[in-house]
Each structure stands twice: as structure tokens, then as C-alpha cells.
Amino acid sequence: MSKVLTALAVVLVATAAGLAISATNGSLPLATISYKVISNNQSNNSSFLASNGSVVVIKASQLNLGNLTANQKGNATGTAVILVNSSGYFVLELNDSVLHGVFSHFMVKLTIGNQTVTLAEGGHGKGHDEAVIYLNKGEYNVTVTVYYRVSPHPHSVTVENAPLLIIKPYHGHDHDDQEEFNS
């Protein structure tokens, strides 16, 4: 019971601190991303907890790609921790809106328990930007690895702790083309 009260207190503090959590569809940030593009023209590492009832993000993976330049490529790895309160299907979604105009290639590999999911920025047939997986009740360490290549002419932009990956309960619609993995 005290864990539930502690979790509730942390959620209230996180909300008061300005974390936007969408209660209407249960979306939770599983990973955040930070980077700064330095063009020829010219981070914050706080952990947080969020819950939508079905899953609790105890610690989001925080990926900081640092300063990026045109055609630069690389990778970064982080770990998230989630608690699944009830077994079921969940949608893992890549928030590719924070990637547009910057990357020519962006792929995310997630390992949750014994399942591996690969997501890629959705444009130009590069891959799926979401997947549906089944998770049993329990706590999971989630390894998040991103592989990227900056565009030859990226937009000059700074991104700080923007939601990169979202986890939410699967409601059985609008995900006809998704990969499904069973544990």
C-alpha cells in the first residue's frame, strides 16, 4: 500500500513539475531524447515516474545525442524501467515528430524481457514507427538503443527531453499494420 501511495505522490509531484501526461489515451513517455543540431548557419537528466493505470514508467531512458552536425552518424543506449500492473497488449510508438528535418536515418531497438522490437522513422518506407507487444504483469528493464544519421542539410534545432518513445495500452483499433509479439 505504501508503494502505491509513494507512486501516487511522485506522479503528483511530476505533474506539478510540468510533465504533460495524456490521461485520455493513456500514453506515457518510455524514453526522451535531447540533441542540438549545429548547422553551418547556425540536458537535463531527471528521472520521473508516470502511470496510466495499466503500466507505470518508473524510470524513462534519457538519450542525449549531444551536438550534431550534418552527415554525422552514431548510436546511443539507455535503460528504462516499467511496471506492468495487468497483463495485456501495449503499443510502443516512436514519436517521429521530434526527428523530422534532422535525420536521414533513425532506428530504435528496444529489448523488453525476452522480446526485441525495432522501430524506425516512418517516412519513405523506412519502417514501422509503432508495434504492439504482449507483456505479462511484472517489472521490466527496457534497453533502448538508437542508431542515427543526420541529414546532409538538417534544420538547426535544439531538442531537450522531448518524448521519443511512448507506451500505452492497446485498444485493438488503428493499428492494423503493426507487428505483434507474444511472450
Q: What is the CATH number of the domain that holds 32?
A: 2.60.120
Asked whether 163 and 32 are in contact (CB, 8 A), the reply is yes
Q: Is residue 125 part of a domain?
A: yes
Bridge partners, 110 (sequence order): 117, 144
In a domain, 9, yes or no: yes
The reply to whether 176 falls in a domain is no
Q: What is the pLDDT of residue 127?
A: 60
Please report, in tens digits, the pLDDT of each residue of the chain (183 residues total).
Answer: 333 333 333 333 333 333 333 334 567 788 888 877 755 443 333 344 566 668 888 899 999 999 999 999 999 999 999 999 999 999 999 998 899 889 999 999 999 999 999 999 855 455 688 999 999 999 999 999 999 999 999 988 999 989 999 999 998 764 444 444 433
* Predicted local distance difference test score (pLDDT) of residue 172: 77
Cα angle at 97 between 14 and 22, to 5 degrees?
A: 35
For residue 77, tell me if it sits in a domain: yes
109 within 8 A of 123, measured Cβ to Cβ = no
For residues 104 and 51, the answer to whether their CB atoms sit within 8 Å is no
Kindly state whether residue 178 falls inside one of the protein's structural domains: no
Amino acid 68: pLDDT: 95
Could you tell me if 99 and 82 are in contact, meaning their C-beta atoms sit under 8 angstroms apart? no
| Full domain range(s) for residue 27 | 2-171
According to DSSP, the β-strands at 103-112 and 115-120 are: antiparallel
Q: Is residue 180 part of a domain?
A: no
Please count the structural domains in the chain: 1
Report if pTM > 0.75.
no
